[in-house]
Amino acid sequence: MCNTTIAKAILKRLTTRTERELYYLKYEGGDYDEMSETLFKVIKSICKIRGISFPLYKWGGVINLKKDDSTTYLSLNILADEYNIILDFTKF
């Protein structure tokens, strides 16, 4: 791997970590919504209608957060600010 590729990977990892920590700091005092199949479908519909990245995925019947995606926390912020859907990402 060349130095540019390594630097991009490190920068992406640090950016995602910073976005995750900012999301947690902003919404840690609020009430978290419990993840359910219904909430999963509602979030999926909102993301499709708004044209934003869907921050969740389902693997083996378990709902998880896309932690590597650069748009995950942007989508979570939009869901929290505009729709009052605040997810506790520490459970994912």
Cβ–Cβ < 8 Å for 40, 63:
yes
CA pair distance 80, 87, nearest whole angstrom: 8
Q: Residue for token digits 């995925």? A: 57
Could you tell me where the beta strands, DSSP code E, fall in 7-68? 56-59, 62-65
- Using alpha carbons, list the distances in angstroms from residue 87 to 6, 7, 11, 65: 31, 31, 25, 10
pLDDT in tens, 48-84: 999 999 999 999 888 888 877 778 888 998 999 999 9
Angle between helices 72-83 and 37-50 (to 10 degrees): 100
- Where in the chain are the domains? 3-91
Q: Which residue has the higher pLDDT, 16 or 61?
A: 61
Could you tell me where the beta strands, DSSP code E, fall in 1-92? 56-59, 62-65
Reply yes or no on whether the pLDDT at 14 is more than 80.
no
Instruction: Provide the pLDDT for residue 31.
Output: 78
Reply yes or no on whether the pLDDT at 92 is more than 80.
no
Instruction: Provide the pLDDT for residue 40.
Output: 93
Reply yes or no on whether the pLDDT at 44 is more than 90.
yes
